[in-house]
Structure 1
Amino acid sequence: MSFIDTLKTLFGLTPSRAEQPTVQPTDTPPVSPAASSSGMPPAAQRRDQVLRFIIEKLRPYQNEPGAAPVGLRLYIACSNPEEEESYRVALRTNQPGTFRAELNRQLADNYISLPKNWPFEYEFFQGGLPDTTYREGNLGLIVLDGSKPDGPPQLARLVTLTGQTEQAEYLLDPSRQTTFCIGRGRTTQTASGRVRTNDIVILNDDDTGFDPAKGAGNGAVSRAHATIRYNAAQRQYALLVDAGGLPASGNKTKIFHSDERMERADIAGMSYPLQHGDQIELGGSVTLQFELR
């Protein structure tokens, strides 16, 4: 201690402290999360992965419209529920037909032409994949061709929602028959003189069991209104409108799809593909729901 400091101590004075410099806080900018290498969100990356996989595997069909597949079935192996949900978002499963439309556009851009209304199916697996036509990583693809049916026939049923039918529901079993006639009454004679037997019977007012309250609108349905036909190669059901169900006969037929689209079935000879949950309206008063089993 110096002499001056000693004197200050004797007189009750303390040495002054050196002032410490004040450090002012500085604003630190937030750290942004690192972007993915592709710059795309996870679902978009998976969508791109699936599209590239399918297009690459179908390159042998470029400029070969006559040999093109009649349908595609995609298998995806997922290691956990989160991964499966990510693929569901990628395939836009909450918007039926959207991913298929995008795939169809990109296939066309690569000169791969599939038939109109070709079916696209997908299925998720936990673990390994079943046997497929093509495989890459966790993706598998089955190419459906028209040479032979793929697997057992697809069962379906029709459930009566409005109007009165002979049965509350009808089983459609392609192993027994592939054409199912819809009309009012059990039988009717067509313009050619042929007797037509309906498989899905809308009760006539003189049929046994007819209830005037339930069947109040049955009279709007033609005796030969429509036909449901099963395509074994595509494992697909379609509605065809017969002469009695067309506007030319003063009648109408509509399909209300499960994605909220309404389709007027008013062209003779045209096949209108049916999907699970579609509702078929006959004559504006009788409604049948189509369900796959």
Structure 2
Amino acid sequence: MSILDNVKNLFGFTPSQPAPAVNATEAPAEPVAETPKPAPQGPPPAGQRRDQLLRFIVDKLRPYQNEPETTPSGFKLCIVPENGEEEELYRVALWDSQPGKFQKELSRQLADNYIKLPKNWRFEYTFYSDALPDCTYREGNLGLLVLDDSKPTGPPKRARISALVGQTEQTDYTLDPAQKTMFCIGRGHSVQTTSGRVRTNDIVILNDDDPAFTAEKGRGNGAVSRSHATIRYDVAQQRYALLVDPGGLPSSGNKTKVFHPDDTIERADIPGMGYPLQHGDQIELGGEVVLLFELY
């Protein structure tokens, strides 16, 4: 120890400690990698929900195994989801964006279980926010309503007819199946048919000798037959159809068409045949008068 160090010790000063040496070759510690979580086993949530729906429907329809003559014309699946997220999951499971795909898969599974439905069987599904409606079968938040075309599934549907081109006696006409199921269309109020029976038109295309007739609105009315067509309501199937009467057929020198909302055109030229009507259809009579058909 040097004289200077002795003096420092005498007066209470201690020598400073040298800083610990740093090993330049020591590498910084590597971060510990997290162990990856195992991937969930089994099908994804939508696939599981799809399997649940298929099992539910197939199980409930087992009474129809090997009974092709008694199978229903279709059925309606009713669902009460807990929230919007679950509803979206059900929509994915039902292939909501690919119409017909779920029905095709269901048809295959029903056939595998010896349940044979009619060729054009119907499948529908509806979501309910509170509770299931009256259903043929129920299980938890699912319900299955068997559709029978021979029985109406609700109150009769009312419709309205109004003129887009041409002049009718009324601005619009209400078709109420609770009152009657056949509605005659023709020019004038009544006409005597070839059988001698007097036909009364429910939807009146004004004749040029009617007091309310105006040449501007009704200039094409003369192309409409006095007994041109009839709209019939099918109570069992709950739908309307157009039937062309003799005066509206090509054999009488006339014509009748139905313009559908999807821009397709249907020529109604077969006697006795019913042409189904849907909301928004336009019925052309004689190539001049156009009536709008609406459900409400």
Distance in structure 1 (CA, Å) of the matches to 2:266 and 2:27: 80
Distance in structure 2 (CA, Å) of the matches to 1:85 and 1:180: 43
Residue identity matched to 1:135? R
Q: Is 1:75–2:78 an aligned residue pair? A: yes
Residue in structure 2 matched with residue 238 of structure 1 by the alignment: 241
Aligned counterpart for 1:173 among listed residues 144, 156, 176 = 176
Alignment CA distance shift 1:177-1:57 (3 Å) = same
Aligned counterpart for 1:136 among listed residues 130, 139, 142 = 139
Alignment CA distance shift 1:141-1:155 (3 Å) = farther
Residue in structure 2 matched with residue 145 of structure 1 by the alignment: 148
Gaps in structure 2 of 5+ consecutive residues = 1-20, 30-35
Distance in structure 1 (CA, Å) of the matches to 2:276 and 2:289: 19
Q: Is 1:218–2:218 an aligned residue pair? A: no
Residue in structure 2 matched with residue 281 of structure 1 by the alignment: 283
Residue in structure 2 matched with residue 124 of structure 1 by the alignment: 127
Distance in structure 1 (CA, Å) of the matches to 2:202 and 2:288: 19
**Secondary structure of the structure 2 residue equivalent to 1:229:** strand
Distance in structure 2 (CA, Å) of the matches to 1:45 and 1:265: 48
Distance in structure 1 (CA, Å) of the matches to 2:275 and 2:132: 33
Using the TM superposition, give the Cα deviation of residue 102 of structure 1 relative to its aligned residue in structure 2, in angstroms.
Answer: 4.6
Using the TM superposition, give the Cα deviation of residue 182 of structure 1 relative to its aligned residue in structure 2, in angstroms.
Answer: 1.8
Distance in structure 2 (CA, Å) of the matches to 1:62 and 1:92: 26
Larger radius of gyration: 2
State the Cα deviation string for residues 211-265 of structure 1 (Å, max 9, x = none).
33333333333322222222222222222222233333431222414x4443333
Alignment CA distance shift 1:273-1:87 (3 Å) = farther
User: Cα RMSD between the aligned structures?
Assistant: 4.3
Residue in structure 2 matched with residue 6 of structure 1 by the alignment: none
Q: TM-score with structure 1 length normalisation?
A: 0.70
Residue in structure 1 matched with residue 33 of structure 2 by the alignment: none
Q: Is 1:197–2:200 an aligned residue pair? A: yes
Residue identity matched to 1:38? P
Alignment CA distance shift 1:225-1:128 (3 Å) = same
Q: Number of matched residues?
A: 275
Residue in structure 1 matched with residue 7 of structure 2 by the alignment: none
CA contact (8 A) 1:71 1:234 kept: no
Alignment CA distance shift 1:93-1:18 (3 Å) = closer
Correspondence 1:249-288 to 2 at 5 A = 249-257=253-261, 259-275=262-278, 277-283=279-285, 284-288=287-291
CA contact (8 A) 2:244 2:268 kept: yes
Distance in structure 2 (CA, Å) of the matches to 1:260 and 1:36: 49
Distance in structure 1 (CA, Å) of the matches to 2:102 and 2:271: 27
Using the TM superposition, give the Cα deviation of residue 88 of structure 1 relative to its aligned residue in structure 2, in angstroms.
Answer: 5.6
Aligned counterpart for 2:163 among listed residues 140, 160, 165 = 160
Aligned identity (percent) is 55
Alignment CA distance shift 1:133-1:250 (3 Å) = same
**Secondary structure of the structure 2 residue equivalent to 1:157:** strand
Distance in structure 1 (CA, Å) of the matches to 2:136 and 2:186: 42
**Secondary structure of the structure 2 residue equivalent to 1:67:** coil
Residue identity matched to 1:229? R
Using the TM superposition, give the Cα deviation of residue 64 of structure 1 relative to its aligned residue in structure 2, in angstroms.
Answer: 4.3
Using the TM superposition, give the Cα deviation of residue 196 of structure 1 relative to its aligned residue in structure 2, in angstroms.
Answer: 1.4
Distance in structure 1 (CA, Å) of the matches to 2:209 and 2:97: 45
CA contact (8 A) 1:245 1:282 kept: no
Distance in structure 1 (CA, Å) of the matches to 2:169 and 2:97: 35
**Secondary structure of the structure 1 residue equivalent to 2:80:** strand
Alignment CA distance shift 1:90-1:104 (3 Å) = closer
Distance in structure 2 (CA, Å) of the matches to 1:265 and 1:104: 35
Using the TM superposition, give the Cα deviation of residue 71 of structure 1 relative to its aligned residue in structure 2, in angstroms.
Answer: 5.1
Residue in structure 2 matched with residue 187 of structure 1 by the alignment: 190
Aligned counterpart for 1:38 among listed residues 32, 40, 43 = 43
Alignment CA distance shift 1:169-1:215 (3 Å) = same
Residue identity matched to 2:175? L
**Secondary structure of the structure 1 residue equivalent to 2:169:** coil
